[in-house]
Amino acid sequence: MFKPAILDIIYDHYDGWARQFAVACRPTCRVCCTQNVTMTAVEGEKILGYALRQGLAEWLGATLAEADALQPPPFTTNQFAAACLAGREMKEEWPENRAPCLFLDHDLCRIYAARPFACRLFLSTGRCQPGGEAEMPAAYPGAASAICQIIEHLGQRRPWGNMLDVLLALLPHPAYREIARLVPPEKIATARGRLLAAAPLPGFLLDDEEEALAAPLLDGIFQSQVEGKTVAAILNGE
């Protein structure tokens, strides 16, 4: 199965690339840790597998069982990119889910090692304040968005949406029965109805500065190999 390996490659290359930035982010600095997180099924499976290995199944099941319903996002990252590249406007409003993340414990993330890319990409060169915004380096947001697009392409045609909904939707798989037994079936069904399908990559929305910054990161990911094939070849269906 190539997808988990490729996701790990993406995370590893991003972590190394992001070290070039001097950031103010530190443990217990959790202003950006809200429920406004989207992800793919591939990322959700990484979280669920981590929870099982770390003995967090009961905690995660109880947490998901108590989660409130959130307004779903109106479109995926790649759907937005496709519309922009085609000259179409996307007028739907993006939900503001700023409630604290349910996975925080004493201001630390209990799934930090398996957190999705929408959490990993947040960095700030200045200390964030409640209600404020991160101070991101020039051209960084575009480069980070490109990685979001690649991860969505990796998980295409499978569930995409709010992190809590994706996790709930994956629970019927037998591998996660230890977590699923704590969650009402109707909650899982409702979550599945709020999800979108991840879309393939239509192209990047990078200006010249963003492309220059992102190039080493993208090249490193695409040229990495899994079982003798480059990531680029696998993503292209070769």
Bin 6: left if φ > 0, else alpha if -120 < ψ < 50, else beta.
Answer: alpha
- Tokens 């798989």 — which residue? 173
Domain borders along the chain are: 2-235
- 111-122 pLDDT, tens digit each: 999 999 999 999
- Taking only the tens place, the pLDDT of each residue in 4-29 is 999 999 999 999 999 999 887 788 78
pLDDT digits (tens, 9 = 90+) for 150-200: 999 999 999 999 999 999 999 999 999 999 999 999 999 999 999 999 999
Q: How far apart are CA 111 and CA 37, in angstroms?
A: 14
pTM value is 0.95
DSSP class of residue 108 equals E
CB-side exposure of 205: number of CA atoms within 13 Å?
17
Alpha carbon 175 to chain centroid, angstroms:
21
